[in-house]
Amino acid sequence: MTGPDQDGAAPEATADQGGVTPENARAESHRPAGGRRPEELRSHQWYGAGGLRSFSHRARTRQLGYLPEEHLGKPVVAILNTWSDINPCHVHLRDRAQAVKRGVWQAGGFPLEFPVSTLSETFQKPTPMLYRNMLAMETEELLRSYPVDGAVLMGGCDKSTPALLMGAASADLPAIFVPAGPMLPGHWRDEVLGSGTDMWKYWDDRRAGLIGDCELQELESGLARSPGHCMTMGTASTLTAAAEALGVTVPGASSIPAVDSGHDRMAAAAGLRIVELVRTDRRLSDILTADAFEDAVTTVLGLGGSTNAVIHLIAMAGRAGVTLTLDDFDRVARTVPVLANVRPGGQKYLMEDFHFAGGLPGFLSRIPDLLHLDRPTVCHDTLREQLAGARVHDDDVIRPRDRPVADEGGVAVLRGNLCPDGAVIKHIAAEPRLLRHTGRAVVFDDYRTMQRTVNDPALDITADSVLVLRGSGPRGGPGMPEYGMLPIPDHLLRQGVRDMVRISDARMSGTSYGACVLHVAPESHIGGPLALVRTGDEITLDVEARTLHLHVDDEELARRRARWTPPPTRFERGYGALYDAQITQADTGCDFEFLARPGKVRDPYAG
């Protein structure tokens, strides 16, 4: 893992989140703080310079109803809000934005709320992963093109966290992230439910004939019962924890339940803090270092987090000028134990339990020797200072080092002739008997075909078969949908089978579980080896050896390749055509090539 040269550290910000009182806020906004004067603010180019354009900008701000005293000479803070009526993870962020504004006002700043694309994991098809880079691009260009000095980024549903941070990293202004927070635990009869994880479980029970339509209808009302993202250690919780580990949130922010009053207070604290970050010019480039990303990888693996974090952290690191690879994940995985007993990697608890057991500060307090403690965060001069006093209050939720959930990090990186550029498996969420397994491949060319035929007796699928899905990668999906937890055939479910080896170039939900090999690279759509597999071939998975091997000799593979023809393009125009032309493969983060490449972009001329 490598990072850019850090030539010239930003002036250090204080850890005080209290800001200034309303009474002295106006005076505070007009005095130099941390060495920056009002005329040194970026927004001064729009408002303070002489000439026609500045006159016009001030006049149009009066048109919005603002007095000169409310904004001139003050840090202008953009609040990027992914709220939407159709995004249940973010439906409360309209209210939280008011708390952020409250904090900004109290600290002497001037807040402006911007609506940006919402990426609803539940509803957006074929997958919000198709649009992650669109939100990243929107974030970057919005921050660059408007008169703002810093940003508060509001998100949490799976793709919104990396998208916002990727765009903000490219714009490189002072910024702080406000996580949406997990929903309350689900309930059904005498059971506590985890969104996603128990959805998969009970859907399989329905297919196996163990529950009926009445029970399923009850589950619909009990599975997700408040605003907020999934309360398991799925992709949303994994990535907001990664954001906190990177140092871009208020301490402890990532696990606060969405409907808890503490979430409102956290949002206000973020509003207070961003003004100080602007005044001291502490930018994301000061925070998002190679050390920070290594600590985020350590955090994700120690939490037993989602495989999706691999793709997103690689992309986020690339935007920050840090080279992060699959090999870095595998190297770190061998050094960090899984300590979070949170479903689906753990067996029992949910995010509210994790929060009250100490949250991420408590978790990190158990692995200080694995962290870079002298790097800065948005709220403290060092991570060491930020973690001072952090404690764990429940040793079963956040395990001690001598009693881990698993001895190694929860994600393994595989190599072999079926995945020369790598693949991943969340092995702690798989049945141990399948972690070294050889079986006969049953191949599906696309997800629709798989849905239609997986129960066909003619396929002769047994519990030892290896289900292979192709055509579901970054280009083939398109967007690499969460198809990777292929359904087990009904006849096997009725026999009690609940896990099988499944291989694809797709992703899977972070709330999913099973022996699912994912992110096979290069994908089948561009001629990766997955395109050459045939039903009846033998495949060996060996997690301990980190290998995935197709038992077909090179000569036969060469013959198959000679007969392979590329599939037609999926997009003839529009954003999809841009996506198809620019998307990179899973092992390099699925960013757009023209966004991931190094290079500077100048601020627009505002005069």
Q: Angle 308-319/326-333 helices, nearest 10 degrees?
A: 120
Residue 392 near residue 365 (C-beta atoms within 8 A): yes
Angle at 193 between CA 358 and CA 249, to 5 degrees: 35
CA–CA distance, 428 with 302 (Å, rounded to integer): 11
Beta-carbon-side half-sphere exposure of residue 208 (alpha carbons within 13 Å) = 16
Q: What is the pLDDT of residue 2?
A: 67
Percentage of the chain exceeding pLDDT 70: 94
Is there a cis peptide before residue 182, judged by omega within 30 degrees of 0? Answer: no
Q: Angle 235-246/308-319 helices, nearest 10 degrees?
A: 30
Looking at residue 366, what DSSP letter applies? T
Which helix (H) or strand (E) covers residue 503, if one does? strand 501-504
Residues 17-38 have a mean pLDDT of 45
3-state secondary structure 440-497: EEEEECCHHHHHHHCCCHHHCCCCCCEEEECCCCCCCCCCCCCCCCCCCCHHHHHCCC
What is the tally of helices (H) and strands (E) in the chain? Answer: 23, 14
pLDDT at 14 over 80: no
pLDDT at 33 over 90: no
pLDDT at 7 over 80: no
Q: What is the pLDDT of residue 3?
A: 62
Tens-place pLDDT, residues 481-515: 999 999 999 999 999 999 999 999 999 998 888 99
Looking at residue 2, what DSSP letter applies? B
CA–CA distance, 480 with 483 (Å, rounded to integer): 8
Residue 119 near residue 158 (C-beta atoms within 8 A): yes
Q: Which residues contact 528 (CB under 8 A, 6 or more apart)?
A: 419, 420, 421, 473, 505, 520, 521, 522
Amino acid identity for residue 494 in this structure: R
Amino acid identity for residue 203 in this structure: W
Q: Cα 526 to chain center, whole Å?
A: 26
Q: What is the pLDDT of residue 22?
A: 30
pLDDT at 35 over 60: no
Tens-place pLDDT, residues 328-353: 999 999 999 999 999 999 889 999 99
How does residue 220 score in pLDDT terms, banded at 50, 70 and 90?
very high
CA–CA distance, 308 with 295 (Å, rounded to integer): 17
Residue 139 near residue 116 (C-beta atoms within 8 A): yes
Residues constituting the chain: 607
Tens-place pLDDT, residues 158-195: 999 999 999 999 999 999 999 999 999 999 999 999 99
Residues 198-203 have a mean pLDDT of 91
- Residue showing tokens 């985890």: 194
Average pLDDT along the chain: 93
How does residue 4 score in pLDDT terms, banded at 50, 70 and 90?
low
How does residue 17 score in pLDDT terms, banded at 50, 70 and 90?
very low
Q: What is the pLDDT of residue 369?
A: 97
Exposure class string for 440-460: b at 16+ Cβ within 10 A, else e: ebbbbbbbeebeeebeeeebe
Question: Helix H segments across 281-365?
Answer: 284-287, 290-302, 308-319, 326-333, 351-356, 359-364
Tens-place pLDDT, residues 360-397: 999 999 999 999 999 999 999 999 999 999 999 999 99
- Can you tell me whether residue 436 is helix, strand or coil? strand
Percentage of the chain exceeding pLDDT 90: 91
How does residue 115 score in pLDDT terms, banded at 50, 70 and 90?
very high
What are the tokens at 291? 């050390």
How does residue 590 score in pLDDT terms, banded at 50, 70 and 90?
very high
Can you give the pTM of this predicted structure? 0.93
Residue 274 near residue 152 (C-beta atoms within 8 A): yes
Tens-place pLDDT, residues 557-581: 999 999 999 999 889 999 999 999 9
Tens-place pLDDT, residues 66-106: 999 999 999 999 999 999 999 999 999 999 999 999 999 99
Q: What is the pLDDT of residue 1?
A: 75
Least confident of 9-18, 195-204, 355-364: 9-18
